[in-house]
Amino acid sequence: MTTLPSVLSDWFAAKGWTLHPHQQDMLARAKDPATLLIAPTGGGKTLAGFLPTLAELGPTPPPGLHTLYVSPLKALTADIRRNLRTPIEGAGLNIRVEDRTGDTTYTQRRKQRADPPQILLTTPESLALLLSYEDAPRIFQGLQRVIIDEIHALAESKRGDQLVLQLARLQSLTPHLRRIGLSATVENPPALARFLSPRTTILEADPGPDPDISMLETDAAPPWSGNGGRYAIPAILNEVTRHQTTLIFHNTRAQAELFFHDLWLANTEDLPIGIHHGSLSRESRDRVEQAMAAGQLRAVVCTGSLDLGIDWGDVDLVIQVGAPKNVKRLVQRIGRANHRYNAPSKALLVPANRFEVVECQAALDAVKAHSLDGEPRGPGPRDVLCQHILATAAAGPFDADALYAEVITAGPYAQLTRPEFDACLDFTATGGYALKAYDRWQRLKQTHGKWHLRDPRSAALIRQNLGTILEIETLKVRLKNHVGGTPLGEVEESFASSLTPGDTFLIGGQIVRYESLREMTVEVSRTPGRDPKVAVFNGTKFATSTLLADRILRIFQQESWPDLPTHTAEWLTLQREV
């Protein structure tokens, strides 16, 4: 069994900390080729994933990359870096921990390629970039372990398919690589285990107590439609005053901005409240995260940017404004409160309107029944495979037989036939039957049995387009006459094109006035006033999951609704009569 260095064990003892059973089990399984740990939020699963690494590196680790940590969120990598430094610095371990995401500076990225840290925290997109460079074999030559946090969130999208192809590539570069998957919300553990690796061991921790979750009771009834939860602001502020730190989740950035604006206007006690979402500048997000970590904020209005795994120890209440749309997402958000082992999370749901009361009730019932949503996975998508083939070519010449053998070790591509692989290779090489007449699509050619880029200069373009996240063209928003200063954030290009000088909109919780568009930057000025003429930029919208939709339909089909609030039951009765 792998044991912790004495300096780390002594540090734990001095803190009065003892390892949880699943953390001890992870140390015992340190040599296993692949392990999927399912543990509740606040159960220390991320530390459990890193314990074997800390044990193997010890007080004086050798140089070079030992462990790669992959997360779906940039904010999560920053949070993990902060949390890892506590035991590493406390025990005096000489271990470098760095993150590499889209926010990492060009200079830092260059340094990391030349001299990788022992532990690198990254995202699937940044990992794809690293693997596309010619020196990838040197960068990853000593890699021993990959930790994939919140693996369920990645497995549900093409980002997961991209990631398992990257894992197959890493396994080819370092055959003894070990894999660890971490999650708190898994509806089908065997399927997720196969996604991680064909040789995965499943380790399930004590699930802990059920969360304390209910709908927020308000003096005012929800409106029939719309409103964004603003009717509940007095009750929400009351809950904020009664708790230490509250996270107020919204499903879109637009809803978060509008709600924060109205919440701030009603905040007569001047409680310190922040806002956090992906369209704000990195500096704005960092300020909020640092204030959260220091316990300086009473509430944060946020979106999915703080969904997964973030460990804010002072958060003791989560409020979800608007129907959650997805049970897994709700469980993850609930887990931000009382983020400690065997401590029940506390959450309140605030339906935006009466229809959402029904959806919130369906979500509550699903959480209490431990019923999680999830659709069966299909085979690995071919467009992701084509992108992977091009990224492999950007790193250097490859043998088609070897690459096919590598690809089918990735779970979603295990059933890929050789003709299907060859069709993808032909498409990337020639553009296929539809595009082969155009020279720009002649991207690969074969020389001496190996495929390589026809024009090495195309590698830069391939790297610029790596990833499966659908990007929307955005423009930076900056205060006028602050050239070179910190941007406030960014808005979609389509939104910016609809603005005329004098229009006002919300960003970062403040009202700004559109002045001009200069050098692809939206120039604004701060403006007094309470009501922006233009609501806010567009944002991602979520669809209701199949599981929740089925539960909502079953509620609609009931003869009566004794479990629903009176105002909603009467509204449904009226709808039925009409």
Q: What is the pLDDT of residues 222-268, one digit of tens each?
A: 998 877 889 999 999 999 999 999 999 998 888 888 899 899 989 99
Beta strands in 420-547 (DSSP E): 444-447, 450-453, 474-479, 489-492, 504-507, 510-518, 521-526
pLDDT of 292: 85
* pLDDT band at residue 484 under the 50/70/90 scheme: low
56-60, 135-139, 161-165, 536-540: least confidently modelled range: 536-540
pLDDT of 340: 64
Please state, for a pLDDT cut of 70, what percent of the chain lies above it.
94
Is the pLDDT reported for residue 168 higher than 90? yes
154-158, 304-308, 354-358: least confidently modelled range: 304-308
**CATH top class, domain 215-375+546-577:** alpha beta
pLDDT of 539: 55
Mean of the per-residue pLDDT values for the chain?
88
Rounded distance, CA 450 to CA 99, Å? 34
pLDDT of 384: 95
Kindly state the average pLDDT of the residues 518-538.
Answer: 73
Kindly state the average pLDDT of the residues 481-502.
Answer: 78
Is the pLDDT reported for residue 173 higher than 90? yes
pLDDT of 111: 93
140-154, 163-177, 200-214, 439-453: least confidently modelled range: 200-214
Is the pLDDT reported for residue 82 higher than 90? no
* pLDDT band at residue 215 under the 50/70/90 scheme: very high
Is the alpha carbon torsion for 199, 205, 210, 216 positive or negative? negative
pLDDT digits (tens, 9 = 90+) for 91-104: 888 999 999 988 88
Kindly state the average pLDDT of the residues 547-568.
Answer: 90
* pLDDT band at residue 156 under the 50/70/90 scheme: confident
pLDDT of 206: 83
Rounded distance, CA 275 to CA 506, Å? 12
**Domain ranges (residues) in the chain:** 6-204, 215-375+546-577, 399-464, 474-526
pLDDT digits (tens, 9 = 90+) for 505-519: 888 888 888 888 877
Same fold yes or no, 6-204 and 215-375+546-577: yes
Q: Which range among 277-281, 295-299, 419-423 has the greatest average pLDDT?
A: 419-423
3-class DSSP assignment, residue 532: coil
pLDDT of 432: 86
Q: Are 411 and 197 in contact (CB under 8 A)?
A: yes
147-156, 212-221, 269-278, 308-317: least confidently modelled range: 308-317
* pLDDT band at residue 373 under the 50/70/90 scheme: confident
pLDDT of 473: 74
* pLDDT band at residue 143 under the 50/70/90 scheme: very high
pLDDT of 426: 95
Residue 321's nearest CA partner among 427, 442, 215 is 215
Complete DSSP assignment for 289-358: HHHHHTT--SEEEE-GGG-SS---TTEEEEEEES--S-HHHHHHHHTTTT-STT---EEEEE-SSHHHHH
Which is it for strands 474-479 and 489-492: parallel, antiparallel or unpaired? antiparallel
Those residues whose C-beta lies under 8 Å from the C-beta of residue 5, and which sit 6 or more positions away, are 54, 55, 58, 59, 91, 93
Instruction: Using alpha carbons, list the distances in angstroms from residue 56 to 47, 116, 576.
Output: 14, 17, 65
Please state, for a pLDDT cut of 90, what percent of the chain lies above it.
47
pLDDT of 534: 59
* pLDDT band at residue 63 under the 50/70/90 scheme: very high
Is the pLDDT reported for residue 81 higher than 90? no
Q: Are 116 and 110 in contact (CB under 8 A)?
A: no
Is the pLDDT reported for residue 536 higher than 60? no
Rounded distance, CA 109 to CA 115, Å? 10
Rounded distance, CA 50 to CA 58, Å? 12
pLDDT of 311: 62
pLDDT of 362: 92
Question: What is the H or E stretch that residue 260 is in?
Answer: helix 253-266
pLDDT digits (tens, 9 = 90+) for 386-411: 999 999 999 999 999 999 999 999 99
Longest dimension (CA), the chain: 77
Superfamily of domain 6-204: P-loop containing nucleotide triphosphate hydrolases (3.40.50.300)
177-181, 278-282, 539-543: least confidently modelled range: 539-543
Is the pLDDT reported for residue 32 higher than 60? yes
22-31, 140-149, 521-530: least confidently modelled range: 521-530
362-371, 487-496, 538-547: least confidently modelled range: 538-547
* pLDDT band at residue 310 under the 50/70/90 scheme: low
pLDDT of 361: 93
pLDDT digits (tens, 9 = 90+) for 318-347: 999 998 888 888 887 887 766 666 667 888
pLDDT of 541: 65
* pLDDT band at residue 537 under the 50/70/90 scheme: low
* pLDDT band at residue 538 under the 50/70/90 scheme: low
Complete DSSP assignment for 126-166: HHHHHHTSTTHHHHTTT--EEEETTHHHHHTSHHHHHHHHH
Kindly state the average pLDDT of the residues 140-146.
Answer: 95
Count of residues in the chain:
578
